[in-house]
């Protein structure tokens, strides 16, 4: 298999800590490309609620800020962290700003975007697109920006993935 394991992919957290996706080994992870000045920005509240509800069951939300869609994430990492804390009380892990498409696409997104659903093939279309990764590091679902974090569709997928991990 020439595809690297998701767990080998390097990440830089918003506070500058260098790590890898391997920190989330054994967890269910919802990876979301986020932005502070987007019509979908209020989804931070739903993402935080999901994280609080399911973190003890093994869910991690990973926010990955991106400024690739109409410059909707213009701030520095400290601006982003402060915005998320002050406006939404975000406690889930966030990375530094990344490119989710194009020549400088983050390696995690190079792997995530290989997962295709009927309505979401290939490239990330907009901010707040969501990818669900199971506890074995397999990409199992993908959701459009318009799908709210606490929608029945996402909650059912998370609960199913958590249940499979617990079995």
Phi then psi dihedrals of residue 45, to 5 deg:
-60, -45
Helix (H) / strand (E) containing 130: strand 130-133
Identified catalytic residue from 31, 35, 38, 100: 38
| Distances 49 to 14, 26, 134, 142 between C-alpha atoms, Å | 20, 21, 19, 19
* CA–CA distance, 158 with 55 (Å, rounded to integer): 11
Q: Does the annotation mark 38 as catalytic?
A: yes
Answer whether 20's CB lies under 8 Å from 62's CB. Answer: no
- Return d(Cα 134, Cα 24) in angstroms, integer: 10
Report, as residue numbers or ranges, the catalytic residues.
38
């Amino acid at each position: 298999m020439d595809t690297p394991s998701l767990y080998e992919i390097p990440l830089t957290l918003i506070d500058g800590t260098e790590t890898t996706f391997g920190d989330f080994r054994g967890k269910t992870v919802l990876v979301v490309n986020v932005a502070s000045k987007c019509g979908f920005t209020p989804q931070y509240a739903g993402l935080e609620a999901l994280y609080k509800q399911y973190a003890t069951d093994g869910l991690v939300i990973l926010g990955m800020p991106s400024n690739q869609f109409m410059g909707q994430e213009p701030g520095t990492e400290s601006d982003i962290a402060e915005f998320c804390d002050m406006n939404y009380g975000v406690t889930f892990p966030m990375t530094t700003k990344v490119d989710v498409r194009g020549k400088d696409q983050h390696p995690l997104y190079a792997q995530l975007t290989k997962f295709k659903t009927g309505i979401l093939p290939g490239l990330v279309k907009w901010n707040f697109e969501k990818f669900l990764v199971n506890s074995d590091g397999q990409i199992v679902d993908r959701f459009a920006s318009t799908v709210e974090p606490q929608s029945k569709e996402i909650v059912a997928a998370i609960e199913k993935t958590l249940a499979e991990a617990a079995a």
